[in-house]
A and B are shown apart, each in its own frame.
Chain A
Amino acid sequence: MAFIPHTEHDVREMLEAIGAPSIDALFDEIPAALRVQGLEGIPEGLSEMAIGRLMSERARQDGRPLSFLGAGAYEHHIPSAVWAITTRGEFYSAYTPYQAEASQGTLQLIHEYQTMISSLTGMEVSNASLYDGGSAVAEAALMAVRAHRKSKSLRILVPSTVNPNYRRVAVSTAGNQGLRFETVAYSRETGCIDPSALETFRGEDLAALVIQQPNFFGQFEDVDALTDWAHSAGMLVIAVVNPTSLAMLKPPGEWGAKGADICVGEGQPLGVPLSSGGPYFGFMTTRLEYVRSMPGRIVGRTVDLEGKQGYTLTLQAREQHIRRGKATSNICTNQGLLMTAATIYMSLLGPAGLAKVAESCMARTQQLQSALCRVRGVRAAFVGPRFHESVLLLDRPAAAVLRSLETQGILGGVDLAADYPELGPALLVCATETKTDDDIERFGNALGVALQAARAA
């Protein structure tokens, strides 16, 4: 019996104490018509040895190709200590820290996380994390609408340089509460928000402008000008940022004259493995004045009855288990384990290490772009500085090229045809600090082969 310790003797004695003839009798309040006899469609159980073998085979089947994929999830070196500590039973199998005295480990860790991520983003306060970057954008939109003192607008500006999946999640999540997400076009030359397109919205009643930095294409937006524009037009600013990049970029709290109002992003780059898309975590930071509008858990420092410093969940009255129908959100969880990993990662890397990672990523992407643009039929889409991704235009449809690269053991990039057909054949490529000279050379050669094959076809 997997993980059930009871012997037959135990069962007998326990039934006697209950005064029931059998375990089955304990279900006698359930109408007989509803009782199932067994789960026929489920295969019989496996020993750990057998399931281990099965999983190893499946993992081997998938293998580990050389990957240049980005688009919101990034391959970084994760120090061994991160998951060795995160999977300690005391972190892994602990519950939400509602009983503070029994959870000072988790609570203090969250407080340290809040400190690090607030500072990294240049904001005053943080929550204990949300599900992922996409849902964090949705929550930020809802929060902006709640917190905006002067406007009751439900309209949010989401430039097309924001990750298209973030927009989709925002629509699915916040659409039911009446929020409307409007697009702003980008410049074909720079791959950044087109200021004249933005200007057409001046004078309209809008709750917030979302600014992603670097944007989905990897390009750097003019965040100061955009922030000032939004504030002058009466909108709040929602910043969506890459945490690695913040080691070397001006953080949202310092954008423009007044700084962004709400800051969110995907925390996966901070020590969380790619793992086919999850679990990740979303971070959210904001100004102190908006803290009561912020969803999610928050940890505060306080004292106990002996005057000792300790940590506890605070501002819970906003949350679902108390406010119920009027809660800021229905969110009940935070991504505890992932936030734990990120906190350990940030502690190991520190400001210097994280800056080196960021610099290395930028350098490798520049190196990659140069190498690939030397291949016939490849050119960069946009001018201007970028972080660790680049859009490359090809002279053949990207899908076939990617398939050919795959046969050569390389995942060459994300095909932008579905979301940005106006670019023509385009690939979003990414090189992080994990890529070497050999990797880049190999990709260049393979891409040449793939394009030649596509031309011949």
Chain B
Amino acid sequence: MSQVPADRRYAKSHEWARLLPDGSVEIGITDHAQHALGDLVFVEVPEPGRVLAAGDACAVVESVKAASDVYSPIAGTVLESNADLGASPELVNQDCYGRGWLMRLQPAASTALDALLGPAAYSAQLAAEGG
């Protein structure tokens, strides 16, 4: 049964986005996604300064089974990426909503998260997919 915390919003492609107090948006992949991938062996994250549109492939998460693109749920500019993932990609498996965050963006619009799914809607999607 995947975890779907209430304090953030979700994209259909299994990324999450969370508004931080300073107005930036933190992004990662969901519990469903990390579970499907299996143990991560490598994470490729974008460089600061990169400008992203909503839906742009911006990172790659690689397990022995698969190397999947991560799509930015919102438009924005990359402020920083999680430097711990270089040595410890397993953080994404262990704590995908906390220490396993991927990147932080400066959103292009303050209303950026409105278009995303809320926790209930995302949970419903997972149930429909059978996960």
When A and B assemble into the complex, do they touch directly, with CB atoms less than 8 Å apart?
Answer: yes
Interface residues on B, range: 10 to 19
Chain A nearest Cβ from B42, distance in angstroms: 7
Looking at A179-187, A258-266, A317-325, A363-371, the stretch in contact with chain B turns out to be A317-325
A322–B37 Cα distance when bound, in Å, is 12
Asked if A322 contacts B66 (CB within 8 A), the reply is yes
Give residues 79-98 of B contacting A (CB, 8 Å): none
Asked if A317 contacts B63 (CB within 8 A), the reply is yes
Asked if A317 contacts B64 (CB within 8 A), the reply is yes
A314–B64 Cα distance when bound, in Å, is 8
B67 CB-CB contact with A under 8 Å: yes
Q: Is the interface of A mostly helix, strand, loop or mixed?
A: helix
Flag B53-69 by CB within 8 Å of A: 1 or 0 each: 00000000011111101
A316–B62 Cα distance when bound, in Å, is 10
8 Å CB contact of A322 from B44, B65, B69: B65
Chain B nearest Cβ from A145, distance in angstroms: 17
Asked if B69 contacts A317 (CB within 8 A), the reply is no
A64 CB-CB contact with B under 8 Å: no
A292 CB-CB contact with B under 8 Å: yes
Give residues 13-59 of B contacting A (CB, 8 Å): 41-42, 44
Q: Is the interface of B mostly helix, strand, loop or mixed?
A: strand
A181–B108 Cα distance when bound, in Å, is 39
8 Å CB contact of B65 from A292, A314, A317, A326: A317
Asked if A292 contacts B64 (CB within 8 A), the reply is no
8 Å CB contact of A316 from B42, B64, B69: B64
The interface residues of chain B lying within 8 Å CB-to-CB of A323 are 66-67
A323–B69 Cα distance when bound, in Å, is 10
The interface residues of chain A lying within 8 Å CB-to-CB of B63 are 317
With A316-B64, A317-B62 as known contacts, state yes or no: A292 contacts B42, CB within 8 Å.
yes
A318–B41 Cα distance when bound, in Å, is 12
Chain A nearest Cβ from B13, distance in angstroms: 15
Chain A: CB-nearest residue to B57: A326
The interface residues of chain B lying within 8 Å CB-to-CB of A316 are 64
The interface residues of chain B lying within 8 Å CB-to-CB of A322 are 65-67
8 Å CB contact of A326 from B41, B44, B69: B69
Chain B nearest Cβ from A235, distance in angstroms: 21
The interface residues of chain B lying within 8 Å CB-to-CB of A314 are 64
A446–B63 Cα distance when bound, in Å, is 63
A322–B44 Cα distance when bound, in Å, is 17
Flag A309-342 by CB within 8 Å of B: 1 or 0 each: 0000010111000110010000000000000000
A316–B63 Cα distance when bound, in Å, is 9
Flag A296-320 by CB within 8 Å of B: 1 or 0 each: 0000000000000000001011100
Chain A nearest Cβ from B66, distance in angstroms: 6
Chain B nearest Cβ from A302, distance in angstroms: 11
The interface residues of chain B lying within 8 Å CB-to-CB of A317 are 41, 62-67
The interface residues of chain A lying within 8 Å CB-to-CB of B66 are 317, 322-323
A108–B60 Cα distance when bound, in Å, is 30
A141–B66 Cα distance when bound, in Å, is 25
Chain A: CB-nearest residue to B69: A326
The interface residues of chain A lying within 8 Å CB-to-CB of B42 are 292
A430–B62 Cα distance when bound, in Å, is 47
Chain B nearest Cβ from A152, distance in angstroms: 13
> B41, B63, B67: which has the most chain A beta carbons within 10 Å?
B67
Task: Give residues in B with beta carbon < 8 Å to A.
Answer: 41-42, 44, 62-67, 69
- A322-B65, A323-B67 provided; 15 other pairs, C-beta below 8 A? A292-B42, A292-B44, A292-B62, A314-B64, A316-B64, A317-B41, A317-B62, A317-B64, A317-B66, A318-B67, A322-B66, A322-B67, A323-B66, A326-B67, A326-B69
Task: Give residues in A with beta carbon < 8 Å to B.
Answer: 292, 314, 316-318, 322-323, 326
Q: Could you list 7 examples of A-B contacts with CB < 8 Å?
A: A314-B64, A317-B62, A317-B63, A317-B64, A317-B65, A323-B66, A323-B67
Question: What 6 A-B pairs have minimum CB-CB distances, sorted nearest first?
Answer: A317-B67, A317-B62, A323-B67, A322-B66, A317-B66, A318-B67
